Amino acid sequence: MKKRHDVKRYPGLGVLSFAFFVYLYAPLAIVILYSFNENRITGVWTKFSLKWYGSALNNAALVDALKTSLLVAVIATVVATTIALMAAMAIIRGKRMRARKLSETVVNLPLLLPEIVLAVATLILFSLIGLQNGLLKLVIAHSAFCTPFAFLPIRARLQGMSLDFEEAASDLYARRWTVFRRVTLPLIFPGLFSGAMLAFLISMDDFITSNMLSSGGTTTLPVYIFSLIRAGTSPELNAVASLLILASLILATVALTMSARGTGKDI
Amino acid sequence: MSDISHHQAVVPEKLVQGKPHARGWNLAVLGVLPSWLLMGFALIIPILIIVAVSFSVRGAYGGFDWGFDLAGYKQILFNEGWSGEIEFTPQYLVIILRTLLLAGVTTLLCLTLAVPVAYYIASQPPFRKALLVYLVTLPFWMSMILRVYAWMIILGRDGPLPQFLQFFGAPSGLTLMYNDGATLAAMVYTYIPLMVLPVFASIEKLDGTLIEAAHDLYGSRWTALRRVILPLTAPGIASGAILVFVPSLGAVLEPILMGGGKQMMMGSLIQLQFGGGRNWPFGSAIAVMLMIFVMIVLVLIALRARRKEVAA
C-alpha cells in the first residue's frame, strides 16, 4: 500500500518548492528590511530607523499621487464591475443569447494583447478626438483593462451556481428584478466582491497605461514611484514600497479568501 | 396593470418553455451592450487607428500626418542617411530578436520552475494545498513596479547579491545590472505565478491511477513524467505559456529599469517612440509587429489544442 502511494512522489520536490517560496518572498522581505535602514545609501546598513516612513508620509507629491490613484481606481472599479456583472449575467444566464462566445472574447480582449499596445493605441485615439481631461482619459482606459479581471470571478461564480434558487424564486412569483436582487446578487456576492477587489488592485498597480496617458496634475502612484526610481534608489522609496506591499497584502488576502469561500462547498 | 395579470402572463409561458426568464433576449443584448461599447471605444477603434497610423507620415513636430507611407516599417530594417542613401541597420532587428529570445527564455525558465513546484503543491493535503496556492498568488497582486524595483536592489550596487558574490571572491564594484540577464531575472520573477497556477490546476485534475498504472507496467518515474504526466498537463502548460509569453513580449518596465537605456525590447522601444522619440508611425509599426507576434502565438496554440481534440 505504501509503495503504491510512493510512485506518485518525486524525491527532492519539497526542498525545491521550499527554495521556490524563498525566491518568491525574499526580494519583498529585502525591500522591507532596507526600509528600516537609517543610512542614505540603501545597500549599506548602519542602524534601525523609522525616519524614512516619516518623510514618506510627509511627502506632498506622494500623497497627491496616492489620491489620484485612489480616485481613478475607485471609479474604474465601479464602472468595470458594473459592466462585467451585466455582461456575465447576459452571457451565462441570458437565454437565446447570440454571439455568446464573441461577447466573451470582447470582454476578455484586454487580456489578449500586450498592455503597451493598448496604451499607445488609446493615446493616439485621445489625441485625435482632442480629449484633454487627464482624469477622464485614465478612467476610460483603466475601466477597459479592469473589466476582464472583474468579469472572470463573477462568471466563475455564476457558472458554478445551480439555477434551482432562481427558478424557485420565480416559481414563487418573484419578478425578474426581484429574483436578481434578492437571490442572484447575494449568491454571487463573493465573486462580485473579489472581482471588484482585483479590478481595484489592477488599476492601482498600473504603470504602462497611466504613464502614457498621464499629464501634469494626474500622476498616479506607480508613475510617481517610477520617477523616484529614475531619480536613484532612496530609502524613502523603500518605505513607500513597504507600505504598499503591506496594503496589497491585506487587500489581496481579503479578495482571495472571499473568492475561495465563493468557489467552496455550499452551492 | 396589476401584479396578478402580470403573473398570469408569465405562468403559461413558463409551462411552454420549461424555464424562467425565457424572454431574456432583449436583456441579454442590453447586458453585453455596455461591454461592447467600452471595448469598442477604448480598444477596438484604437487598435484600428494604430494600424492606420503605422502606415501614415511622420509629423514635422512629432505625432503624425494622415497619408500612406511605408517609412514606419522601412525604418525597422533601413536607415536613411543625411544625403538620402538607404542603408541596412540591424539595431531594431536586434531589439526584435532580443524580445523574442528573452520572452522565450522567460517562458521556458518559468515552465521548468513551475512544473515541479505545481506538482508538489498538488500532492499536498487540502489545507496546505490551499495555503501554498495562496502564497503563489499573493506576490502577483503586489505592484509590478515594486517587484521589479526589488530586483534592482538585489542586483544593484552594494546589493545583497553582489555583496554575497564578493564574499566568495568576486571582484568588488561588480555590477549585475543593465544587461539582458538582469532583465531576464526580473521577468521570470514577475511572471512566474502566471505559470504555476494553470499548471497546478491541470496537475490537480490528473488521474493518479494513470501514474500507478505506468509504474505497474514497469515505467520509471522519469518515464511516467515524460509519457503520462507532461502530456496530460499539456493544456495547463499551454495556457501558462500564453500567460507568460504574451506579457513578456510586451514587457516595458523590466527592460527600462533592469536593462538600462541600451538593452531595449519592443515594449520599451514603443514607449520611447511615443514618449521622447516622437516618431508615431515607427512606434505604431513596432506595435503592429508586436500584435502580429502575439496573434501568431495564440493561433498556433489554439490550432495545437484543436488537433489534440480531433485526435482524442
Residue B170 grid cell: 568576486
- Which strand (E) or helix (H) includes residue A91? none
Residue A18 grid cell: 521550499
Dist CA A251 CA A67 (whole Å): 17
pLDDT at site A34: 85
Dist CA B187 CA B184 (whole Å): 5
Question: Is there a contact between A115 and A209 (Cβ–Cβ < 8 Å)?
Answer: yes
Our count of domains for chain B comes to 1
The length of chain B is 312
**CB contacts < 8 A (A, B):** 297
Dist CA B38 CA A144 (whole Å): 6
Dist CA B59 CA B52 (whole Å): 14
CA atoms within 13 A on the CB side of B227: 14
CA atoms B268, B269, B274, B277: torsion sign: positive
Mean pLDDT calculated for residue range A227-256? 84
Dist CA B18 CA B91 (whole Å): 66
Banded pLDDT at A178 (limits 50, 70, 90): confident
pLDDT at site B62: 67
Question: Regarding predicted confidence, which is higher, B147 or A265?
Answer: B147
Question: Regarding predicted confidence, which is higher, A260 or B48?
Answer: B48
Tell me if B43 and A114 make a contact (CB, 8 A cut-off): no
B67: in domain: no
Banded pLDDT at A4 (limits 50, 70, 90): very low
Banded pLDDT at A265 (limits 50, 70, 90): very low
Tell me if A94 and B25 make a contact (CB, 8 A cut-off): yes
Question: Is there a contact between B194 and B103 (Cβ–Cβ < 8 Å)?
Answer: no
Considering only CB atoms, which chain A residues are within 8 Å of B193?
Answer: 24
Question: Is there a contact between B98 and B268 (Cβ–Cβ < 8 Å)?
Answer: no
pLDDT tens-digit readout, A122-147: 999 998 998 888 899 999 999 999 99
Question: Is there a contact between B138 and A249 (Cβ–Cβ < 8 Å)?
Answer: yes
Selecting from B10, B250, B298 the residue whose C-beta is nearest the C-beta of A116 gives B250
Interface list for B 166-205 with A (CB within 8 A): 189, 192-193
Residue A191's CB is within 10 A of a number of other CB atoms, namely: 27
B/e letters for A117-132, b = 16+ CB within 10 Å, e = fewer, are: bbbbbbbbbbeeeeee
Closest-CA residue of chain A to B222: A10
Prediction pTM value: 0.84
**pLDDT above 90 (res A179):** no
B298: in domain: no
Dist CA B116 CA B279 (whole Å): 45
B284: in domain: no
> Count of H helices and E strands in chain B?
16, 4
**pLDDT above 80 (res A86):** yes
Residue entry with cell 428584478: A177
CATH number at residue B206: 1.10.3720.10
CATH assignment of A60-263, among 2.40.110.10, 3.40.50.300, 1.10.3720.10, 3.55.50.30: 1.10.3720.10
CB within 8 Å of B248: residues ≥ 6 apart? B102, B103, B106, B107, B187, B191
Closest-CA residue of chain B to A203: B143
Dist CA B185 CA A210 (whole Å): 25
Tell me if A86 and B146 make a contact (CB, 8 A cut-off): no
Q: What are phi and psi of B152, to 5 degrees?
A: -65, -40
The length of chain A is 267
B213: in domain: yes
Chain B: nearest CA to A149, how far in angstroms?
12
Question: Is there a contact between A39 and A236 (Cβ–Cβ < 8 Å)?
Answer: no
Closest-CA residue of chain B to A231: B257
B61: in domain: no
Q: Which of A17-26, A47-56, A81-90, A91-100 has the lowest mean pLDDT?
A: A91-100
DSSP secondary structure of B103-122: HHHHHHHHHHHHHHHHHHHH
Dist CA B252 CA B263 (whole Å): 11
B40: in domain: no
Banded pLDDT at A160 (limits 50, 70, 90): confident
Tell me if A114 and B6 make a contact (CB, 8 A cut-off): no
Tell me if B287 and A94 make a contact (CB, 8 A cut-off): no
Residue B255 grid cell: 527592460
Considering only CB atoms, which chain B residues are within 8 Å of A8?
Answer: 123, 208, 211-212
B297: in domain: no
First to last CA, chain B: 57
pLDDT tens-digit readout, A60-78: 888 899 999 999 999 999 9
Mean pLDDT calculated for residue range A139-165? 88
Q: Are strands B64-65 and B57-58 parallel, antiparallel or unpaired?
A: antiparallel
DSSP state for residue B87 in the 8-state scheme: E
Among A171, A195, A70, A23, which Cα is nearest to B151's?
A23
Residue B16 burial by Cβ neighbours in a 10 Å radius (0-12, 13-18, 19+)? exposed
Tell me if A225 and B283 make a contact (CB, 8 A cut-off): no
Chain A: nearest CA to B312, how far in angstroms?
23
Choose from A2-6, A187-191, B102-106, B261-265 the range with maximum mean pLDDT: B102-106
Instruction: Report yes or no: B232 at the A interface, CB cutoff 8 Å.
Output: no
State which residues form the domain around B232: 98-272
- Which strand (E) or helix (H) includes residue A192? helix A185-205
Per-residue CA distances from B38 to B29, B72, B226 (Å): 15, 29, 45
Tell me if A201 and B141 make a contact (CB, 8 A cut-off): yes
Tell me if A204 and B192 make a contact (CB, 8 A cut-off): no
Among A123, A138, A134, which Cα is nearest to A215's?
A134
Closest-CA residue of chain B to A241: B146
Chain A: nearest CA to B130, how far in angstroms?
9
B90: in domain: no
Question: Is there a contact between B236 and B202 (Cβ–Cβ < 8 Å)?
Answer: yes
Closest-CA residue of chain A to B119: A13
The ipTM (two decimal places) reads 0.85
Question: Is there a contact between B55 and B68 (Cβ–Cβ < 8 Å)?
Answer: yes
pLDDT at site A97: 67
Q: Which residues does chain B have with pLDDT short of 50? A: 1-24
Per-residue CA distances from A182 to A155, A170, A177, B30 (Å): 19, 11, 8, 21
